[in-house]
Structure 1
Amino acid sequence: MYLAIREMRFAKTRYSLIATIMVLVAFLVLFVTGLARGLAYDNAASIANMKATHFMMGKDADHRFTRSEVGTHELEQAQSIVGEQNAQPLGVRMTTVTVEGKSSKLDVTLLAVKPEGWLTPSAAEGSSLAEAGAGSVLVDSKLKESGVRIGTVLVDQGSGTKWKVGGFASRESFSHSPALFISEQDWQQLQRASGAGDGETSYSAVAVKADKQQAERLAAEMPTTEMVKKSEAVSAIPGYKEEQGSLLMMIVFLFVISAFVLAVFFYVITIQKSSQFGILKAIGTRTAYLAFSVALQVLLLCAGSLAIGVLLVQGLAAVLPSGMPFLLPGSTLTLTSGAFIAMSLAGSLLSVWKVSRIDALDAIGRAGA
């Protein structure tokens, strides 16, 4: 440890340049990771926030809410198996609304829920869906940027149905569009106004709280439907997997690049110091000690650069606009930091191998020459 720190203090410029590059790479890795998590949450926040464990959907819906259709019969069957309180209807429809009296259009997703049920989010501002009553909606606070306020009347472009904004919910979205929560009664009226169905109320899914045995029983007794885990339903939201796959590939490449850059830097430095390493070996310094010294330098540089990178990302997150989908929770930050350190140490293995291969006599001969 003494040797590693002493050398870093002696060659400040060299190691400062390496540290600067590592800070930039660490910052980029953390920022892209936070952006990926933020986009994932923004794409599926409303579904991810729900307390359901499974969603009962139509058999041929491919796990997608917008393709699924179930009726009151399926809802009653599910309630008879898992309990009335553990199965609730969920309607999902992507649509366009306008603010009454204005021509601007807003793309939103309607989510029909029981106003007093556990699928309904709490109101961050204004009245809850249960308090506001029929004809009112609970909307995502993102719509404030479009001029929507409590009391604003929204008009569905397809059916002409009108709702009054009763309150705002925080971070509720579906497929990157703001969510509008409406009551079952308003959902039924919307279906009648749209001319959908044959008079019987239909939903996109039945949200259930079920253990493994109950889920298997539901699947067995209701062959026309399919039990979909919440994680599978989230992944099936249009664009979710493609978006996350692209960002994940970018993060993986950044990890590989950081390990490669670090490996090249330290390998070149190790070659330049071959004579010194050879002399140290000749006077009795163990190879393990020299290898540990190289690995410790990498660890110290990585940890210091990572700490600075975390501070920079946190500072940037504090000034990002509210519309920017950025999310970096503690668990993700810890996992990403651990992976970054592991990849950096892996990149130092080439230098460690080079140190172990240095022959003391050859190194001394080169130094004498």
Structure 2
Amino acid sequence: MNLAWKEIKKNKVRFLILGSIVFLVSLLTFIISGLANGLSQDNAALIKDLPEGQFYMNEDADETYNLSRIDSGIQNEILKIQKDAVAFSIQMGFLNDEADKQQSIAFVTSTDSKLFENVKHEEIILDSSLKDKGIKVGDTLTNNQFSGKFVVKGFVDQKKYSHAPVAYISMEDYKEIYRVEQMQLVFTPEGDSSQEFTGLQSFSKKDFLNTIPSYSAEQMSLNMIVWFLVVISGMLFAIFFYMMNVQKIGLYGILKAIGLKTSRLFKMIWTQMVVITVISLVISITLSQVFNMIAPEGMPFSLSFKTTGQLSIVFLIIGFIGATLSGIQIKKIEPLQAIQQGEV
């Protein structure tokens, strides 16, 4: 430990540069991760907020919920077997507000369930983000495919689908707008993949989210960037300590000659890695959480302490691997040969 601290004090600038790079890389990683989580919520909060369970759609729909139609007989069978099961449909559309301005929304309807808002004929419950558009309780909204008018009965928080605010309407009104009789999906809370029904394909919540094209493509791209940055941080540690070790071959030869074990030299490198990484992570976590609190309301950004904790552990593991790989050359140093080469 003392040897590690002395080395850090002697080469302050070098370690400060490494710490700054780790700080910037980790901060960028946290920001992108927060953006990925925020976009995930903005894209599919309606589904993500449901409990774990099984989603069922028509197996002929080719894993595309828009093409799915659940036979009413099978639907009633599932609802009878699973008391908490719910049949529901989602369809993108629009509403005209009282100023005759169109608002893009995602219409949602369902059978009676505590998992979804249940509304009456010509009533509507909206995501609270539409408050910013000037819509309020009691307003009358219209749709070009609907003969009646919707009266706003209330708002719900954080209910989005495909980056559009959700609008809960009655099944009767939904069928009139889209000229359909069947529901698209059935959801069984706490269900498992062993429950099979004729003509239906089952999905876990994670699998169903991946059937949403915009969700899977968006998350894959952002998560790839996050892990790419994590790998870069490990490479930085490996390159930095490798260069440091090359410059200190003569010193390590002397230390080995006087009886210092190779394990002590590895502990010195690991201690330096932990000190640099922890300090850098503390600063980047603090700044990322501050950004989480002050981020503009319209920005889809969500960074939980659980996510930052998991990424921090990954950074420490990657840093440990990088530092260890760079130190393999220490084990190969022969004291006499290193002393003869001299310290570079």
CA distance in 2, matches of 1:239, 1:19: 37
Q: Tell me by how many angstroms 1:154 deviates.
A: 2.2
CA distance in 2, matches of 1:269, 1:160: 76
Please point out which of 314, 317, 328 is paired with 2:292: 317
CA distance in 2, matches of 1:160, 1:272: 81
Matched, 1:188 2:172: yes
Matched, 1:292 2:292: no
Q: Tell me by how many angstroms 1:155 deviates.
A: 1.8
5 Å-filtered alignment, 1:1-369, equals 1-51=1-51, 53-83=53-83, 86-102=84-100, 104-114=101-111, 117-120=113-116, 129=118, 133-159=120-146, 161-183=148-170, 187-194=171-178, 196-197=179-180, 201-212=181-192, 216-217=194-195, 219=196, 222-367=197-342
Flag the 1:287–1:228 CA change in 2: closer, same or farther, 3 A: closer
CA distance in 2, matches of 1:332, 1:368: 44
Q: Tell me by how many angstroms 1:112 deviates.
A: 0.5
Q: Larger deviation: 269-278 or 149-158?
A: 149-158
Deviations 1:9-42 (A, max 9, x none): 2222221111111100110111111211221222
Q: Tell me by how many angstroms 1:286 deviates.
A: 0.8
CA distance in 1, matches of 2:261, 2:174: 79
User: Contact (CA 8 Å) 2:250, 2:343: kept in 1 or not?
Assistant: no
User: Contact (CA 8 Å) 1:26, 1:306: kept in 2 or not?
Assistant: yes
Residue in 2 that maps onto 1:125: none
Flag the 1:56–1:161 CA change in 2: closer, same or farther, 3 A: farther
Q: What amino acid sits opposite 1:118 in the alignment?
A: K
Flag the 1:265–1:61 CA change in 2: closer, same or farther, 3 A: same
Flag the 1:225–1:366 CA change in 2: closer, same or farther, 3 A: closer
Flag the 1:162–1:301 CA change in 2: closer, same or farther, 3 A: same
Flag the 1:277–1:143 CA change in 2: closer, same or farther, 3 A: same
Secondary structure of 2:104's counterpart equals strand
Q: Larger deviation: 230-239 or 299-308?
A: 230-239
Report percent identity of matched pairs: 29
Deviations 1:193-252 (A, max 9, x none): 54x14xxx321112223543xx645x2xx4222233222221111211111111121112
CA distance in 1, matches of 2:36, 2:144: 32
User: Moved runs in structure 1, 4+ residues, more than 4 A?
Assistant: none
Q: Larger deviation: 250-259 or 72-81?
A: 72-81
Unaligned runs of 5+ in 2: none
Q: What amino acid sits opposite 2:321 in the alignment?
A: A
CA distance in 1, matches of 2:56, 2:172: 19
| Count of paired positions | 344
User: Contact (CA 8 Å) 1:291, 1:356: kept in 2 or not?
Assistant: no
Cα RMSD between the aligned structures?
A: 2.1
Flag the 1:362–1:216 CA change in 2: closer, same or farther, 3 A: closer
User: Contact (CA 8 Å) 2:94, 2:105: kept in 1 or not?
Assistant: yes
Residue in 2 that maps onto 1:126: none
Q: Tell me by how many angstroms 1:331 deviates.
A: 2.6
TM-score, normalised via structure 2 length: 0.93
